[in-house]
Amino acid sequence: MSLYRLAFRHKSVAQNIKKGVKNSNERLEFLGDAVLGSVVAEVLFKLYPYEDEGFLTELRSKIVSRNNLNALGRKLGFDKLIEFDTKVLNTGRQGSLLGDAFEALIGAVYLDKGYDFTRNFLVNHIIKSHIDIHTLEQTETNFKSKLIEWCQRHGKDISFDVIENQEGESNKLFTVQASVDGEIMGAGKEFSKKNAEKLAAEKACTSLGI
């Protein structure tokens, strides 16, 4: 039980148990995040046998996004279970505590029951009933359009340029640069021009903090 109780203890109310270490849910969150990532990876790998790893990576990050996990935590009533210091955390910042506690709970279940149990628990009681994968699949996280929109809003020029083009036996390798107001903000190297652009746009979004 103490393991499960730990999963719901935010660091704002944790006590030092040893120099530099608190009895908060953060270590369990680290573990649970990894186990969840692995279970979701397998689910998607098997659910979409004909999609490439770019698709799988993108869909997984939507499923395990803070947004989605927070909503899940709220749906599961975690807001009544989490211990935290209301003086430090105002209501606006409480959202991410829900997703953090969800991951910490996965970590606790894993330590208590092992991987196969945790996987079956996640698949049968969480993913099937609470996560609509096909709707998330339709939700757009298109870095290229995100970058273009941001540039339009901020009155900046954006260009995607193929700067290299290597010939292989069966595939060409494209290098694309994304430049904002003439400054290179990201580059991508891929076997299709479209994917190289996507990668360059994603890196530019990260560089610009979009």
- 10 Å CB burial of residue 56 (0-12, 13-18, 19+) is middle
Window of 112-120, 121-129, 145-153, 154-162 that interacts with a copy of itself by CB under 8 A: 112-120
Q: Which H or E run includes 47?
A: helix 26-47
For a copy of itself, which residue of 1, 2, 52, 129 counts as binding (CB under 8 A)? Answer: 52
Binding of a copy of itself by 53 (CB under 8 A): yes
Binding of a copy of itself by 209 (CB under 8 A): yes
Residue numbers annotated as active site: 33, 103
How many Cβ atoms sit within 10 Å of the Cβ of residue 4?
14
Residues 134 and 46: their CA atoms lie apart, in Å, by 14
Q: Let me know: does 58 contact 84? Beta carbons within 8 Å.
A: no
Site string for a copy of itself, 9-48 (x = CB under 8 A): --xxx-x-xx-xxx---xx-xxx-xxx-xx-xxx--x---
Shortest distance, CB of residue 161 to a copy of itself, whole angstroms?
A: 18
Residues 200 and 210: their CA atoms lie apart, in Å, by 14
Of residues 146, 135, 127, 25, the one with CA closest to residue 82: 25
Question: Which residues lie near a copy of itself (CB under 8 A)?
Answer: 11-13, 15, 17-18, 20-22, 26-27, 29-31, 33-35, 37-38, 40-42, 45, 50-53, 56-57, 60, 85, 87-89, 107, 110, 114-116, 119, 166-171, 173, 191, 203, 206-209
**What residue numbers does the annotated binding site for Mg(2+) cover?**
29, 100, 103
